[in-house]
């Protein structure tokens, strides 16, 4: 299950993600000069390594640390897998901030001039690369991991006006394309700042699900209310399902897009519809990422298509709340 943290703020919801992203400016210049291994490739029908991030909390909501591989029970389409717990300390991170702009987003969430401090979702020594994508009815600005921070910071401070659309799936697809070009050795994240439900994406649900399932990417989503008049419209919208019949776990992307993107990928979701402290919201995202486990397994030669994952904790004691990657996709 995905742990849903509900917070709110009237005028600064998008700042949650922007403050996280801006802090990496000093690290971007370093990234351009480093030698990197080959870029990531889709999971195919070979002994490909599948990464399954997981966040474990106890009954009181505290993060559970110190678990070992034998404490986890992971199945792939019902078949038990042999897994290992990866060491992530010092592992470089690539982040894409995906932000809704235009009339579909409340204007309060587009006020980036009030940034007063730099907050981070990962250790600034490991968060080495940042890209930035804005969208309304389609992706607009795309900053593809520039070596210097100036362009990204300018784009954040001067968002382009847009329409009332919210093509979340199209924009996330764009972010996945950017991350696919980054080294496989990097941890890859998307920070999505948007309304909760897709409105107008052209990409089919099956295509987006396949691309998300082929990537080892975590999605963190921060949602705000749709602008007046948009909520009733969103209820009438349907998804472009595509030609494939998807499992119900993936079809839920139509119902609550931002939440399900986080749930399926093993990330975290925050709803900022009410008046929460900004610092608390950022702290939830940061702590969830820093306290997450990164599990891995090799599925051998599985059948092509979607593979549903299940994860349990074998350790006796208090029940745990487990958020984890729910699926992957094999071509």
Give first-to-last CA distance, the chain, whole Å: 26
Which pTM was predicted? 0.80
Q: Which residue in 191, 185, 186 sits closest to 127, CA to CA?
A: 186
Please state the φ and ψ torsions of residue 190, each to the nearest 5 degrees: -120, 130
Rounded Cα distance between 88 and 85, Å, is 9
pLDDT beneath 50, residues of the chain? 1-37, 45-46, 108, 110-119, 232, 234-237, 275, 277
Two tokens, residue 89: 């300390």
Give me the half-sphere count of Cα atoms (radius 13 Å) on the Cβ side of residue 228. 1
Spans of all domains in the chain:
4-35+91-290, 50-88+293-330
Helix ranges (H only) for the chain are 15-22, 25-31, 150-157, 168-180, 205-214, 230-236, 248-251, 257-265, 278-290
| Residue bearing tokens 């209820």 | 235
pLDDT for the residue 227: 63
Cβ neighbour number for residue 316 with a 10 Å cutoff: 5
Instruction: Find the Cα–Cα–Cα–Cα dihedral 136, 139, 141, 143, rounded to 10°.
Output: 140
145-189 pLDDT, tens digit each: 887 767 777 776 676 777 888 899 999 999 999 999 999 999 999
Q: Cβ(134)–Cβ(192) under 8 Å?
A: no
CATH class, range 4-35+91-290: alpha beta
Rounded Cα distance between 156 and 173, Å, is 20
66-95 pLDDT, tens digit each: 999 999 999 999 999 999 999 998 899 999
């Amino acid at each position: 299950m995905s742990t849903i943290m509900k917070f709110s703020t009237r005028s600064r919801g998008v700042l949650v993600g922007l403050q996280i992203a801006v802090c990496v400016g000093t690290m971007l210049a370093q990234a351009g000069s480093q030698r990197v291994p080959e870029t990531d490739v889709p999971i195919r029908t070979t002994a490909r390594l599948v990464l399954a991030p997981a966040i474990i909390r106890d009954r009181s909501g505290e993060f559970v640390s110190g678990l070992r591989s034998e404490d986890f029970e992971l199945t792939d389409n019902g078949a038990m897998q042999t897994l290992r717990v990866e060491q992530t300390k010092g592992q470089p991170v690539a982040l894409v901030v995906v932000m809704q702009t235009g009339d579909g987003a409340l204007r309060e969430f587009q006020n980036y001039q009030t940034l007063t401090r730099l907050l981070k979702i990962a250790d600034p020594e490991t968060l080495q690369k940042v890209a930035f994508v804005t969208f309304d009815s389609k992706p607009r600005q795309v900053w593809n991991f520039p070596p210097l921070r100036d362009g990204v910071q300018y784009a954040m401070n001067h968002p382009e006006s847009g329409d009332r659309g919210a093509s979340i799936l199209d924009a996330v697809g764009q972010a996945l394309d950017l991350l696919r070009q980054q080294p496989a050795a990097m941890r890859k994240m998307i920070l999505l700042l948007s309304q909760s439900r897709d409105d107008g994406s052209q990409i089919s649900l099956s295509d987006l699900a396949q691309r998300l399932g082929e990537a080892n990417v975590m999605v963190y989503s921060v949602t705000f209310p749709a602008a007046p008049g948009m909520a009733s419209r969103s209820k009438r919208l349907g998804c472009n399902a595509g030609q494939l019949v998807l499992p119900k776990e993936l079809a839920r992307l139509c119902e609550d897009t931002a939440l399900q993107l986080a749930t399926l990928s093993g990330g975290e979701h925050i709803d900022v519809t009410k008046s929460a402290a900004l610092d608390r919201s950022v702290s939830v995202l940061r702590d969830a990422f820093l306290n997450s486990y990164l599990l891995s397994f090799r599925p051998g030669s599985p059948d092509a298509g979607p593979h549903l994952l299940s994860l349990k904790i074998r350790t006796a004691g208090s029940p745990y709340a487990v958020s984890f990657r729910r699926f992957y996709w094999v071509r």
